[in-house]
Structure 1
Amino acid sequence: MWTVCVLLLCAVHVRAEHFLHEAENPLGYCQGEHECHSHDDKTANHRTYSQTSNVTINTSHSLERFKVSCQKLIEAFPVDEVDGNYVRTVKNCVFSRSLPTPLKAPVTLAAVSKSVIEDILDLDIGVTQTDAFLQYISGAQLIPGSIPLAHRYGGHQFGYWSGQLGDGRAHLLGQYTNRKGEIWELQIKGSGKTPYSRAGDGRAVVRSSVREFLCSEAMQALGIATSRATSLVVSDESVWRDQFYDGNVRKERGAVVVRLARSWFRIGSLEVLTRGGELDLLRKLLNFIIENNFPAIATEDPDKYLVFYSTVVKETAHLIAQWMAVGFAHGVCNTDNFSLLSITIDYGPFGFLESYDPNFVPNTSDDEGRYSIGAQANVGLFNMEKLLESLHPVLTPSQQQQAAVVLKGYAGLYQMRFHQLFKAKLGLLGEEEEDGNLIAFLLKMMEDTGSDFTMTFRQLSEASVQQLHRGGFTQETWALHDLSSHKQFSDWSRMYLLRLGRQEGDDDEDRRQWMKSVNPMYVLRNWMAESATRKAETNDFSEVVLLYDVLGNPFLAQDAAEENGYAARPPLWARRLKVSCSS
Structure 2
Amino acid sequence: MKSLKINNRFTAELPADPELTNEIRQVKNTLFSYVNPTKPSNPELIHASEEVAELVGISKEEIQSDEFLNVFSGKDILPETQPYAMCYAGHQFGNWAGQLGDGRAINLTEVENKNQFYTLQLKGAGKTPYSRTADGLAVLRSSIREYLCAEAMHYLGVPTTRSLSLILSGDQVLRDILYNGNPAYEKGAVVCRVAPSFIRFGSYEMLTARNELKNLKQFVEYTIKHYFPEITGEPKEQYIQFFQEVADTTRKMILHWQRVGFVHGVMNTDNMSIHGITIDYGPYGWLENYDPDWTPNTTDSQNRRYRFGNQPQVAQWNLFQLANALYPLVNEAAPLEKILDSFIIDFEEDYKIMFLSKLGIFTSSDTDNKIIKGLEEILQLSETDMTIFFRNLSQIKKEDSVEQAFEKIEYAFYLPQEIKDTILDAWQKWLSVYLKRLSSETLSDEERASKMNEINPKYVLRNYMAQLAIDTADKGDYSLVDELFQLLKNPYAEQPKSEKWFAKRPDWARTKVGCSMLSCSS
Please report the TM-score for the alignment, with normalisation by the length of structure 2: 0.95
Q: Distance in 1 between matches of 2:195 and 2:361?
A: 34
CA positional deviation for 1:470 = 3.9
Distance in 1 between residues matched to 2:191 and 2:44, nearest whole Å: 12
Aligned twin of 1:113: 49
Out of 120, 127, 132, the residue aligned to residue 193 of structure 1 is: 127
Counterpart of 1:328 (choices 246, 262, 271) is: 262
Letter in 2 for 1:150: A
Structure 1 pair 512/161, CA: closer, same or farther in 2 (3 Å)? same
Q: Deviations along 1:194-228, whole A, 9 cap, x unmatched?
A: 00000000100011100000000000001010000
Aligned equivalents of 1:311, 1:336: Cα separation in 2: 18
Is contact 2:396–2:408 with CA below 8 Å preserved after alignment? Answer: no
- Give 1:53's aligned residue: none
Cα separation, 2, equivalents of 1:443 and 1:468: 22
Q: CA deviation at 1:245?
A: 0.8
> Which residue does the alignment assign to 2:434?
496
Deviations 1:329-373, CA, capped at 9 Å, x for gaps: 000000000011111000000000001111101011213211111
Matches within 5 A, 1:541-552: 541-552=478-489
State the shift of 1:500 in Å.
1.1
- SS of residue in 1 equivalent to 2:394: helix
2:25 alignment partner, one of 79, 88, 102: 88
SS at match of 1:172: strand
Counterpart residue number, 1:536: 473
> What is the aligned-residue identity percentage?
39
Shift of 1:311: 1.7
- Whichever residue aligns with residue 235 of structure 1, its letter is S
**Contact 1:79/1:95 (CA < 8 Å) preserved in 2?**
yes
Partner of 1:147: 82
Specify the alignment match of 2:154 in structure 1: 220
Kept in 2: contact 1:146–1:173 (CA 8 A): yes
Q: Distance in 2 between matches of 1:450 and 1:346?
A: 29
User: Which is worse superposed, 370-379 or 517-526?
Assistant: 370-379
| Aligned partner of 1:432 among 343, 365, 369 | 365
C-alpha deviation, 1:128, in angstroms:
1.5
Would the aligned equivalents of 1:291 and 1:299 in 2 still touch at CA under 8 Å?
no
Corresponding residue number in structure 2 for 1:350: 284
Q: Note the 1:101-140 alignment, pairs <5 A.
A: 101-104=38-41, 106-118=42-54, 120-140=55-75
* Whole-Å separation in 1 of the counterparts to 2:490 and 2:96: 40
Aligned residues: 512
Alignment of 1:458 onto 2:391: yes
CA displacement at 1:448 relative to structure 2: 1.0
Which deviates more, 275-284 or 288-297? 288-297
User: Judging changes above 3 Å, is the alpha-carbon distance between structure 1 residues 98 and 424 closer, same or farther for their aligned structure 2 residues?
Assistant: same
Is the partner of 2:38 in helix, strand or coil?
coil
How do residues 158-177 of structure 1 correspond to structure 2 at under 5 angstroms?
158-177=93-112
Unaligned runs of 5+ in 2: none
Amino acid of the residue matched to residue 502 of structure 1? S
Aligned mate of 1:418, from 342, 347, 351: 351
**Per-residue deviation, 1:67:** 4.3
Query: Per-residue deviation at 1:288?
Result: 0.8
Equivalent residues of 1:225, 1:343 under 8 A apart: yes
The correspondence of residues 202-217 of structure 1 with structure 2, limited to 5 A, is 202-217=136-151
1:566 to 498, 501, 504: 501
Alignment of 1:323-402 (within 5 A): 323-366=257-300, 367-397=302-332, 400-402=333-335
Bigger RCO (CA 8 Å, 6+ sep) = 1
* Cα distance, 1:557 vs structure 2: 1.6
Distance 2:298 2:367 in 1: 37
State the partner residue of 1:100: 37
RMSD: 1.7
